[in-house]
Amino acid sequence: METVLKNVRDRYNVLHETHTHGVFITVSPNDVIGLLAYLKNVEGFTHLVLLTAVDWIEENQFQLTWLVNNPVLKQEMGIRAFIERSVWPEESVMDSAHHLWPAAKTYQRELHEMFGIDFPDSPEVNEPLILEYWDQLPPYRRDFDTKKYSEETYFPREGRYTRDPKTHMEAKLYAREGKKQ
């Protein structure tokens, strides 16, 4: 793994590195596809485990993570890139990796639907995957209020209530001792 990391550091501008829970390296979005191709063709990371995104709304960024796996040496590596978070209905744009792994197109369809991240030239990226013809803010963006949407759309039944866990458990466990401070 050290030799792989050294080779990567020599060739690409690595912005950040963590080793706490597996190896994750952060590079700029322009370098990602080249790095993935290098890892796949030269270093033997031939398997794409997943591609996923995180919405960092405070930093106005999307974090994309590609997990790749070397099945021969049983190594796993994560590649991260931060792209700009667009304002809906404009979509953030990232390069597609479907020419390296055909399975990447399904992840890219999902990200397009759930986060509004576009991958130009990825096959079938504009077709609905899980949500059929969703016409609103993509639901995995953090500014989408899922409870409000559900209440407006799906006829909530009366009678649902929630308890504050702390006060409820205090009342239940220490009922005899009176009110605990």
Partner 1 sequence: MAKMNYRKRLIDFDKRTVESPDGETFEVNPMQDYYCDAKPKVHPPSKIAPLETFYNWCRAESIFILGFGTGCGAIEMRPLMGPMYDASRFGVFWRPTPRQSTVFFIGGYASVKTLKRIVRSYEQMQGPKWVFAVCSCTINGGMYFDSYNTINRLDHYIPVDVYVTGCMPRPEAILDGIDTLKKRIKEGRGEGANKYAKNFEWYKANQKKIIKDWDMPDYNW
Identity of the residue, 13 or 133, whose beta carbon is nearer to partner 1 in the bound complex: 133
Comparing CB distances to partner 1, the nearer of 10 and 158 is: 158
CA-to-CA distance for 122 and 1, rounded, in angstroms? 31
Rounded CA-CA distance 30/27 in Å is 8
Q: Which of 43, 37, 25, 133 is nearest to 80 (CA)?
A: 25
Tell me how far, at minimum, the Cβ of 138 lies from partner 1, in Å: 10
- How far apart (Å, rounded) are the C-alpha atoms in residues 58 and 64? 16
Give the footprint of partner 1 on this chain (CB under 8 A).
128, 130-135, 139, 144, 146-147, 149-151, 153-157, 159-160
Query: Shortest approach of partner 1 to residue 139 CB, angstroms?
Result: 4
- The Cα 145–Cα 124 span in angstroms is 28
Given the complex with partner 1, which of 157 and 180 has the nearer CB atom? 157
Residue 176 corresponds to which tokens in the numbers above? 């005899």
Is the Cβ of residue 130 or residue 173 nearer to partner 1 in the bound state?
Answer: 130
**Residue 2: exposure state from Cβ atoms within 10 A (0-12, 13-18, ≥19):** exposed
CB 98 within 8 A of CB 105: yes
Write down the least CB distance from residue 38 to partner 1, Å: 38
- Which among 77, 74, 76 has a CA at the least distance from the CA of 27? 77
Closer residue to partner 1 (CB): 84 or 152: 152
Q: What's the min distance (Å) between Cβ of 124 and partner 1?
A: 16
> Min. distance of Cβ 47 from partner 1 in angstroms?
29
